[in-house]
Amino acid sequence: MAQSATIFKVTLEIADIDRAYYHDHALTIARHPSETDERMMVRLLAFARHADEALAFGKGLATDDEPDLWRKDLTGAIDVWIDVGQPDERRIRRACGRAEAVFVYSYGGRGAGLWWDQAGAKLDRVANLTVVNLPFAATQALAKLAQRNMRLHCTMQDGQMWVADSERSVAIEPEVLKGPPTAG
């Protein structure tokens, strides 16, 4: 008998000072049986970073043709495609062809570094791709915040992020490995 997804209920209070976005979101997250708490919390962190009323969780691990998160416009075109982990370079290229902007949030310490060493050169010329690496200690600490019912506060300022529950706080300093080209 196949295991079913575990359901997590999250109240996420976001204060994104960089974007002047202040909003609370009531989320229901389905964690695939093979997904770790760390990966699920990185998905939640990516949601907080790109929070918008139209941002939605995809089927993630259950399908290859949907991202972990995405935002579509009113015509159904994909504005933002977000994957977490270390996706295959071909998957990223396909996503870049389908979406206006693609974001990958890698994590996993040394494994993430090795993945980027291999994929980075192949993806260097993809203009609409941003790759962000999250520190290993931070994602491990995020995983410890995972509970079936969560109330989390997420504050973002100057590229840094803080996620807290009623007892603990995790500071995250993302490292941008590849960003969109800058003008000038």
Q: What is the pLDDT of residues 124-151, one digit of tens each?
A: 889 999 999 999 999 999 999 999 999 9
**pLDDT(60) > 80:** no
Backbone angles phi, psi at 65, to 5 degrees: -100, 10
Place of tokens 């840094």: 160
**pLDDT(1) > 50:** no
How is the chain split into domains, by residue range?
Answer: 6-178
**Does the domain at residues 6-178 carry the CATH identifier 3.10.20.30?**
no
Structure tokens at 100: 């206006």
The model's pTM = 0.93
How confident is the model over 76-88, as a mean pLDDT? 95
